[in-house]
Structure 1
Amino acid sequence: MPFNPLEQRGIPLDRQVRNWRELNVEPIDPDHTDPYTRCRIITMNGIEVEAILFSHQFARHCPDPQVKQRLAEVRYIEAQQQKAVNWLLPGVSSVLETTIAYEQVAVDLTAWVARMEPEPYLRQAYQFGVLEDFDHLYRYANLYEMIEHRKAAKIVDGLTEVMPGRPTPLHHRHPADNVREPYDKHRTDPLSKLHALTIMSAEQQTMNFYMNTGPTYMEPIARQLYQEIGLIEEEHVTHYESMVDPGETWWEQLVNHEYNECYLYHSFMEQESDPKVKAVWELHLNMELEHLHLACDLMRRHDGRDPAEVLAPELPNVLTFEPNKAYLRELIDTQLDLTTLGTGYVREAHERFEAMQESLHGGQPAPSEQVMIRHRDDFGREYRHQTEGDHPVPHLREEL
């Protein structure tokens, strides 16, 4: 049934502040919860973090004290939402277990968006990025078995395969080649704006997570791998944020953020299997409906336009976490050898790419390759988890 958040009213803002008891959410049980519930939690944490950071940046560029006050009121609620969502994650999970869940999010969220993206250029950007996230999952899974002597298959529950994607050492490109062309806000499908904002937010939180958790490990090989993949996540944020039209006004960006939160909370509420978590999604959706209306009021007052001009008339089909195994294997078969040049993609190494590779690696194995060498030394094999009907995926050489 179509759902138009512009026609729905939520909880009044002055009734949205929660006390400590209400914020004391019960975390999920990682051994008995659908892995995609954890993926939805991680995704919404990233969305809420982006909402908070965007609101702070808006406030720093806004001269109107009344607007800044309204932003602060909504931002405080967003901060409470972020705490409630992120605190659903269990404290018993190790950093590496959470990391593997983060990469499962990156793989299956980006693959789903790529499948649904209506614009070919944007779709290619998601297809390119997901093959790198896929390999990150593979590298962390090998590190996990080395350090904790456990298998990533239990965390992803067979929903996402663990095998090589585009080799991680090849993800290090000249920064200029990480910038994509933006969509045109006047002509792009409203769904494309939601996709870009969602994946940018998810990658941003992964970048932040690795920046802060990487040095907490004692094992040198773990510290090095987090450092390497953390740098690649910075590339990914550059890749995705550059797809957003820089001509969007602050007010357009504000309503897009709030509309996207309604879209995602609605999507996850529709598919959530855990009743306690579903109740959180439903509560936050009803909060976000009011945030959206407040943002629309600000846009009408200060931008002189009706938000309906830039927003979809109704929410698109729900964003769904589901296996994407066949789709990812098709991308591995057809796009594994791509790299970037300017705002496009090429299959051959070029001078700028090779210079960056030499500057960074200097002929030495990258940390992500050292993990594989160590794992093969320790176990006599690499760690992979593929489902029935597997066909062997060749391990590409680590340099072009």
Structure 2
Amino acid sequence: MSFNPLQERGIPLDRQLRNWRELNVDPVDPDHADPYTKCRIITMNGIETEAIFFSHHFARRCPDIDVKRQLAEVRYIESQQQRAVNWLLPGTASVLETAISYEQVATDLTAWVARMEPDPYLQQAYQFGVLEDFDHLYRYANLYEMIEHRKAEKIVDQLTEVMPGRPTFMQHRHPVDNVREPYDKNAAQPISKLHALTIMSTEQQTLNFYMNVGNLYMEPIARQLYQEIGLVEEEHVTHYESLLDPGETWWELLVNHEYNECYLYHSFMETESDPKVKAIWELHLNMELEHLRLACELMRRHDGRDPEEVLPTELPAPVTFEPNKGYIRELLATQIDYTTLGTGYVQEAHERFQRMQERINGGEKSPSERVIDDNRTISGREYRLESEGPHPMHSLQMH
């Protein structure tokens, strides 16, 4: 059955405010929750955080006080939504367990988007990035075994493999080589805009998370690994945000953000296995429908255009968390040795890439390599979680 958010009415804004009791949601069980439920929570935390950041930036550039007041009112509700979503994660889970779930999101959500993306250039951007987040999962899983003496299969539950991707130490590129060509807002399909906003938002949240939790560890190797992977996440946010067309107006961006929230809450409501979490997705969808309606009114009034000119008239197929093992293995076999040069991709280690490697690694093994060596020393072997079948053959060195 088709669902058109532009024709639906949600909860009136003046009825969306929640009190402390309503915001005090019950967290999921860290030992028994569906790993993909945690992935959906992390995703929506990133989406809501981006909505808040965007609204603040818009307000700082907007001269119309009435618009700023409406942004503030909606943004306060978005802030309540962000807290309700983020507080679904259990406080009993360690920071490292949550980091592993973050990388499971980055792996399976980006792989799904890459599979569904109709634009070849945008698809390549997601394929390139997913092999790097896939490797981060492997590095954190080894750190987890080493310092918490537990295995990542408890967290990812066989849904996502844990093995080397594009080696993290080879992901450090010159900043200018992380900037991609943007899509053309007049030519790009609406689903491409939603994909780009979704992946940018989730990668931004991963960057925020590592910036704030990496210093909470005492173990030097843990602190250093969070630093290294966090710097790669900075590259990833640059990589993905540059895909957005800078010619989109503030009003277009506003309705895209609100529409994307409707799309994702509806998707997760349709696919959620936990009834209590599903009820939150449904509640937030009904809130977002009103936020979208208000944003559309602003666009008509201030941009002189109908939102239907830039938005889909019905929701695309639901975003789905599902295993992507075969797809990622195919990418490992064919794209492991890619790096970037300008706005494109190459398989040769060009001079600027090599200089960056020499400077950032300083002639020593990076933390992401040392964590594997250290775990081999402590555990007798590195940690991997692979499905049955041969490991994909790939070179770990650039040509």
Global fold match (TM > 0.5): yes
Q: Which residue of 2 aligns with 1:340?
A: 340
Q: CA deviation at 1:211?
A: 0.3
Q: Which residue of 1 aligns with 2:161?
A: 161
Q: Which residue of 2 aligns with 1:363?
A: 363
CA contact (8 A) 1:167 1:396 kept: no
Q: CA deviation at 1:382?
A: 1.1
- Structure 1 letter corresponding to 2:358: E
Q: CA deviation at 1:376?
A: 1.4
- Structure 2 letter corresponding to 1:137: L
Find the aligned partners of 2:303 and 2:380 in 1 and give their Cα distance. 63
Can you give the 5+ residue segments of structure 2 that lack an aligned partner in the other structure? none
Can you give the 5+ residue segments of structure 1 that lack an aligned partner in the other structure? none
Out of 359-368 and 111-120, give the one that drifted further: 359-368
Q: Which residue of 2 aligns with 1:9?
A: 9
Q: CA deviation at 1:97?
A: 0.2
Q: Which residue of 1 aligns with 2:249?
A: 249
Matches within 5 A, 1:1-400: 1-388=1-388, 390-393=389-392, 396-397=395-396
Distance 1:90 1:328, change over 3 A: same
Distance 1:180 1:119, change over 3 A: same
Find the aligned partners of 2:20 and 2:30 in 1 and give their Cα distance. 24
Find the aligned partners of 2:26 and 2:154 in 1 and give their Cα distance. 22
Distance 1:379 1:396, change over 3 A: farther
How many residue pairs match? The answer is: 399
Residue-by-residue CA offset, 1:86-138 (whole Å, 9 max, x unaligned): 00000000000000000000000000000000000000000000000000000
Q: CA deviation at 1:393?
A: 4.0
Find the aligned partners of 2:47 and 2:103 in 1 and give their Cα distance. 16
Secondary structure in structure 2 of the residue aligned to 1:112: helix
Q: CA deviation at 1:396?
A: 4.4
Q: What is the percent sequence identity of the aligned residues?
A: 77
- Structure 2 letter corresponding to 1:26: D
- Structure 2 letter corresponding to 1:29: D
Find the aligned partners of 2:334 and 2:398 in 1 and give their Cα distance. 18
Find the aligned partners of 1:355 and 1:290 in 2 and give their Cα distance. 51
CA contact (8 A) 2:141 2:162 kept: yes
- Structure 1 letter corresponding to 2:226: Y
Find the aligned partners of 2:373 and 2:387 in 1 and give their Cα distance. 24
Find the aligned partners of 1:346 and 1:267 in 2 and give their Cα distance. 35
CA contact (8 A) 1:41 1:86 kept: yes
Find the aligned partners of 1:172 and 1:380 in 2 and give their Cα distance. 29
CA contact (8 A) 1:159 1:323 kept: yes
Find the aligned partners of 2:134 and 2:223 in 1 and give their Cα distance. 20
Q: CA deviation at 1:398?
A: 5.8
CA contact (8 A) 2:207 2:233 kept: yes
- Structure 1 letter corresponding to 2:256: N
TM-score by length of 1: 0.99
Find the aligned partners of 1:209 and 1:379 in 2 and give their Cα distance. 28
- Structure 1 letter corresponding to 2:370: Q
CA contact (8 A) 2:131 2:336 kept: yes
Secondary structure in structure 2 of the residue aligned to 1:340: strand
Secondary structure in structure 1 of the residue aligned to 2:246: coil
Distance 1:74 1:306, change over 3 A: same
CA contact (8 A) 2:349 2:398 kept: no
Out of 373-382 and 312-321, give the one that drifted further: 373-382
Residue-by-residue CA offset, 1:296-349 (whole Å, 9 max, x unaligned): 000000111101000011110000000000000000000000000000000000
Find the aligned partners of 2:398 and 2:229 in 1 and give their Cα distance. 17
- Structure 2 letter corresponding to 1:21: R
TM-score by length of 2: 0.99
CA contact (8 A) 1:169 1:398 kept: no
Q: CA deviation at 1:277?
A: 0.2
How much is the aligned-residue C-alpha RMSD, in angstroms? 0.9
- Structure 2 letter corresponding to 1:361: N
- Structure 1 letter corresponding to 2:19: N
Secondary structure in structure 1 of the residue aligned to 2:245: coil
Q: CA deviation at 1:375?
A: 1.1
Find the aligned partners of 1:338 and 1:92 in 2 and give their Cα distance. 39
Secondary structure in structure 2 of the residue aligned to 1:273: coil
